Amino acid sequence: MMRIGIITASDKGSRGEREDLSGPALKELAQSMDWEVAEYIILPDDQSMLEGTMRQWVDELSLDLILTTGGTGFSPRDVTPEATLAVADRLVPGIAEVMRLESLKVTPKAMLSRAVAVLRKRTLIINMPGSPKAVRECFHAISPALPHGLQILKGEANECGTPTK
């Protein structure tokens, strides 16, 4: 079973001034994939706090997947991609590209997303949009490939081009 963590980046959400709808939407989507949501937190848009939580969840908890929601726009407080890149070992650009491509079918504003996807050790970290509707659209766009990618990352599957026996 895949163990995942969900981080909502929101100043207002972390202060209790806004209900987090995107984090619970991600939790529901993850559970529909039969994944265990091992960690969930709402953090302010603070780069060091985001970095620290991602590092801890990878380095100490060995989560398979971390999904973030929020903090990927143009606001000076939107620092989720910077925090994610700061903890990255390798980039996975195709995931963010697919999310933007699919979102462009709904709104031209999708091109303004700065979301990234990276690997840290054996954990995949993906920045998702901040709205529940966009979270669902993006998750559905990438979810068909995630189980295989996570299995490869964990050493539990053959390479993409290798037939199974």
Phi and psi torsions of 24, nearest 5°: -60, -35
Asked if residue 162 is part of any domain, the answer here is no
Q: Containing domain of residue 133, as a range? A: 3-153
Instruction: Give the pair of three-digit tokens for residue 124.
Output: 């995949």
Euclidean distance between CA atoms 105 and 122, whole angstroms? 32
Asked if residue 43 is part of any domain, the answer here is yes
Asked if residue 161 is part of any domain, the answer here is no
Does the structure show a pLDDT above 50 at 137? yes
Angle 17-20-21 from CA coordinates, rounded to 5°? 140
**CATH number (domain holding residue 91):** 3.40.980.10
Question: pLDDT category, 1, cuts 50, 70, 90?
Answer: confident
pTM: 0.94
> How many separate domains does the chain show?
1
- pLDDT at 157 (0 to 100): 75
- pLDDT at 159 (0 to 100): 59
Does the structure show a pLDDT above 80 at 99? yes
Asked if residue 124 is part of any domain, the answer here is yes
81, 115 in Cβ contact below 8 A?
yes
Asked if residue 71 is part of any domain, the answer here is yes
Asked if residue 63 is part of any domain, the answer here is yes
